[in-house]
Chains A and B, each alone.
Chain A
Amino acid sequence: MSIWIGKDTRLVVQGITGRDGSFHTRQTMEAGTNVVAGVTPGKGGQLFDGKVPVFNTVAEAVQATGANCSVIYVPPAAAAGAMQEASDGGIPLVVCVTEGVPVLDMTTVMPYLAERGTRLIGPNCPGLITPGEAKVGIIPASICKPGRVGLVSRSGTLTYEVVHHLTASGFGQSTCVGIGGDPIVGTNFIDVLRAFQDDPKTEAIVMIGEIGGTAEQEAAEFVLSYLRKPVVGFVAGQTAPKGRRMGHAGAIISGSSGTADEKFAAFESAGIGIMRRPVDVVELLKARLK
């Protein structure tokens, strides 16, 4: 068990013939994921690497292969359209890895997806992985192992750093979810926390936040009211200067909400174990998981 992806995942890759799409599709297949189709307009009828059928549209891919999850590697200007196409094609879970999607595009994509009941993860995210079962996105399978810790993060490589410590110390993962660092993302901390609470396989949760916005504070309130499983957390950007964009569009301190100190304080008052360093995750979990 795990959340959202697993053995039943039938993945369609939008942008499968592009540079990033083809590279990550191969890694995804090596990790054991069932990649059933690819989509590149104009290249319908081809076979990717001699085995994955390529279609012109998501709707065709769904009809022919029963795909139930999509991952998007198209360029930023085409990403909004790709998300809407996947949703219209009946895909219930869409993961957008593409970085640099104009944020105004997301203001119209979100209601479009909501009307069709589609869950979006990202954009600008590393995706998710259920170790040993399925990987959708770019989290390296080699650093993960199956287990009982659920992880949710706004970052990419910082997630890998924490997963690396977990795996090295014997804590496997149920599912790791990278929700992305943009100001508007489809799935937030609370969505993932609720899914982990409801997942019998997940026994403890690690939450990795960043400066900017108030998503971590809202997540902390939710932990207090809803979660019955131990949670530990980290916030990156304690030393970031005010008002500067640090790579992720989301990591901007605006007004009084969004500093690392405020977020850590919210974690503390919700009983979340405080990671001052990524490596602290190990001792905190040892104390909480007997």
Chain B
Amino acid sequence: MNLHEYQARALLKAAGVPVPDGDVAATPSEAEAIARRVGGTVVVKAQVHAGGRGKAGGVKLARGPAEARECASQILGMTIKGLVVNKVLVVPAADIATESYVGLILDRKTQKPVFMVSDAGGIDIEEVAAKTPEKITRLPIDPRYGLLPHQALQLALALYKDWSQAKAAMQILRQLYGVFMANGCTLAEINPLVTTPEGKVLALDAKMTIDDNELDRRPDLAVLRDESSEEQSEVTARRANLTFIKLDGNVGCVVNGAGLAMATMDLVKYYGGEPANFLDIGGSSNPEKVVSALKIITADPNVKVILFNIFGGITRTDDVANGIVAATKQFKVDVPIVIRLTGTNEQEAFRILESVGMTAMNDMDAAVSKAVKLAGEAA
């Protein structure tokens, strides 16, 4: 789960990290009020889970409360990379002397949180990582001992030569590590970490990703999810315990298991089609899940054919067949359904489908190529 900048900023602030004054606003008049309170020139920043906000016109400079109101009314409601902006962050415009990058990620290879810091921070950090990786200092941290003082010092000295700034950075690194561990993050970054002309160190922007697996035991974090900023079909799917990702093609896919679901999408492409979605109905296959899945997929007007690919292991194929029959009784499905079922209770599944005049296939390639052909004819 990705946090918005204002949410990540609040977690950092609570841990003691120096962040600029300011607040989040949902209306132009709230933005105006915040600008009046902080005084001077402010930056109005779109809160949306997409990179390149500035280039898309989602970050604007405002001289005073009236301009802040005007900027907020332009930004609120705008769409950036398909996502609607519902909130803006209003912060004082900072004078910047230097920009650094400080990040912590959970690294697969070392199986530890790894710090990445660079004194070449700012919006071009990805280019720095790609072209001059030697400018980034990487340091794995053993979570049994935490960030040790000498490690914090090593990282801080990679950022600042000035001793008082290095000391401030050490403190911020410790606080960032604390936030990362306390909130089940897989990523937490401050970019840029700036120094002001007076020499103050300040976290200007922050990004955090929380491990979805933490949310069950951390209701305090689960409430940070902003469903208004997500694709609505994906929100509906999550509530039905389905993993769904909308794509742009016209072959709707219903599959059990993430790996097989991806392989099914790949096979759709192999036979010349385009998948309309990724959808994993998971291991246990109660018929209700299949009904929910069909509802979500048929709501997409691009879908010209629906392809089921079920390999029964724990999933009982007769449960899936019952779900398909139940769904087609509850609502009308206007597009053809191609069904591939094999494994646990497949004979019963075939019988259930045949009793309502539907047919199923055994072979994945045959089913996928048939679905692609039908989608092509309908398009």
Interface residues of A (CB under 8 A from B): 23-24, 76-77, 99-104, 106-108, 110-111, 126, 138-140, 143, 153-161, 164, 181, 183-184, 208, 210-211, 213-215, 234, 236-241, 244-251, 255-256, 260, 276-279
- C-alpha spacing A260/B142, complex, angstroms: 31
Given contacts A158-B259, A239-B247, 9 further A-B contacts (CB under 8 A): A104-B184, A107-B111, A155-B259, A156-B259, A239-B265, A239-B275, A247-B261, A255-B129, A277-B267
B280 / chain A contacts, CB cutoff of 8 Å: 246-247
Q: Select one of A100, A181, A184 contacting B258, CB under 8 A.
A: A181
B271 CB to nearest A CB, Å: 9
Q: Does B256 contact A (CB under 8 A)?
A: yes
The answer to whether B113 and A160 have CB atoms under 8 Å apart is no
Chain B residue contacts of A153, Cβ below 8 A: 259
A255 to B343 CA separation, bound complex (whole angstroms): 38
Contact B263 A161 (CB under 8 A): yes
Classify the interface of chain B: helix, strand, loop or mixed: mixed
Within 8 A of A (CB), among B27-73: none
Binding site for A on B (CB under 8 A): 106, 108-109, 111-113, 126, 129-130, 142-144, 181, 184, 186, 211-214, 216-217, 243, 245, 247, 255-263, 265-270, 275, 278, 280, 283, 311-315, 342-344, 364-365
27 A–B pairs (Cβ distance < 8 Å), ordered by A:
A100-B216, A101-B213, A102-B184, A102-B211, A102-B217, A110-B111, A140-B343, A155-B259, A156-B313, A157-B255, A158-B257, A159-B259, A210-B262, A215-B108, A234-B263, A236-B259, A239-B275, A244-B245, A244-B278, A246-B243, A246-B245, A246-B262, A246-B278, A246-B280, A249-B212, A260-B266, A278-B364
- In whole angstroms, how far apart are the Cα atoms of A236 and B259 in the complex? 6
Q: Please, which residue of chain A has its CB at the minimum distance from the CB of B1?
A: A245
Our pick among B144, B214, B259, B313 for the contact of A140 (Cβ within 8 Å) is: B313
For A236, the chain B residues whose CB sits under 8 A away are 259-260, 262-263, 266
* Distance of B296 from chain A, by nearest CB (Å): 15
How far apart are the CA atoms of A139 and B268 in the complex, in Å? 26
* B67 nearest CB across to chain A (Å): 34
Chain A residues with CB under 8 A of B344: 140
Closest partner residue, chain B, to A162 (CB atom): B263
Set of chain A residues within 8 Å of B112, measured between Cβ atoms: 107
In the complex, chain B residues whose CB is within 8 Å of the CB of A213: 108-109
Inter-chain contact B109/A143, CB cutoff 8 Å? no
Q: Are B144 and A155 in contact (CB under 8 A)?
A: no
Docked Cα-Cα span, A279 to B342, in Å, equals 15
Separation of A183 and B114 alpha carbons in the complex (Å): 14
Inter-subunit contact B111/A161 (CB<8 Å): no
Complex Cα distance, B280 from A249, in Å, reads: 13
Most A C-beta atoms less than 10 A away, residue of B109, B181, B259, B260: B259
- A155 pairs with B260, CB closer than 8 A: yes
Bound form: Cα–Cα A250–B213 in Å: 12
Provide the residues of chain B in CB contact with A154, threshold 8 Å: 259
- B245 and A241 contacting across the interface, CB-CB below 8 Å: yes
What residues of chain B lie closer than 8 Å to A139, measured between beta carbons?
313
Which chain A residue shows the least CB distance to B106? A103
- Would B364 and A76 count as touching, CB distance under 8 A? no
> Nearest chain-B residue to A165 (Cβ)?
B364
